[in-house]
Amino acid sequence: NAGVMQNPRHLVRRRGQEARLRCSPMKGHSHVYWYRQLPEEGLKFMVYLQKENIIDESGMPKERFSAEFPKEGPSILRIQQVVRGDSAAYFCASSPMTGVDEQYFGPGTRLTVT
Amino acid sequence: GESVGLHLPTLSVQEGDNSIINCAYSNSASDYFIWYKQESGKGPQFIIDIRSNMDKRQGQRVTVLLNKTVKHLSLQIAATQPGDSAVYFCAENRGGGSEKLVFGKGTKLTVNP
């Protein structure tokens, strides 16, 4: 019974390039959340998606960041024109349905911008 | 504003002792709380949760206490083991349709053999 899967686990990008982070939720889970974690800090909420819908993007920067969760395939967090300040660990979590609060986290993608 | 914080950033205990990790939250409307354990290089791992209609919940070697009067949450780990060494985060869900979790900064627990 696979947990939340994220890839790649490590991603290095040069300033100005695009970063694409993928998340496959646990089987049967239709809710996906993205969080960002800076070194020595807690996780910060970015966006909450259900299949084909963005429910809450209050934590997403207004520019360069976008997220999707298509009907088929993984959820994608896309960062355009990356800057050094985007370097962080990005975690995806999933939950089975509305009203179930527990979120299960993936191993994260560590993005380094050089 | 959003504020879930921890009283102590680091905690060092001897193997076999009990550990207590504390957390303060500021939003009295929060109705669900979770403790996560995060080992180096890994994602947060669920430990235990509690809803606001409870004041205590026990799991295997762990107990969470919730004091709504002073908006305080604690995680107790019994007979702490070296494998418990990690950073522990409390997180709150404020309900009301918002599904996001608000995390504190974390407490690093070190268990000395």
Mean pLDDT by 10 residues, chain B (113 residues): 56 96 89 93 93 95 96 96 95 77 90 93
Contact A65, A46 (CB under 8 A): yes
Q: Which three-class secondary structure state does DSSP give residue A6?
A: strand
Tell me whether residues A107 and B93 touch, CB distance under 8 A. no
Give the tokens for residue B79: 């007979």
Average pLDDT, chain A: 92
| pLDDT of amino acid B2 | 43
| pLDDT of amino acid B29 | 86
Nearest-angstrom CA–CA distance, A80 and B22: 39
Tell me whether residues B104 and A45 touch, CB distance under 8 A. no
What pLDDT, in 10s, does the model give residues A28-77? 888 999 999 988 788 999 999 998 999 999 999 999 999 999 999 999 99
To the nearest whole Å, the CA of B43 is away from the closest chain A CA by: 4
Q: Which three-class secondary structure state does DSSP give residue B35?
A: strand
Tell me whether residues A4 and B101 touch, CB distance under 8 A. no
Tell me whether residues B46 and A4 touch, CB distance under 8 A. no
Q: Assign residue B77 a region: left if phi > 0, alpha if psi is -120 to 50, beta otherwise?
A: beta
Of A42, A59, A106, nearest to B105 by CB-CB distance is: A42
Q: Residues B36, B41, B46, CA angle at the centre, nearest 5°?
A: 15
Q: Of B100, B102, B105, which to mutate for an interface test with A (greatest number of A Cβ within 10 Å)?
A: B100
Cis peptide before A8 (omega within 30 of 0): yes
Q: Of B46, B99, B108, which to mutate for an interface test with A (greatest number of A Cβ within 10 Å)?
A: B99
Give the tokens for residue B83: 């494998």
Give the tokens for residue B38: 């995060």
- Chain position carrying tokens 């890994």: B42
Backbone angles phi, psi at A40, to 5 degrees: 65, 20
Tell me whether residues A91 and B105 touch, CB distance under 8 A. no
Average pLDDT of A73-99? Answer: 92
| pLDDT of amino acid A91 | 97
% of chain A surpassing 70 pLDDT: 96
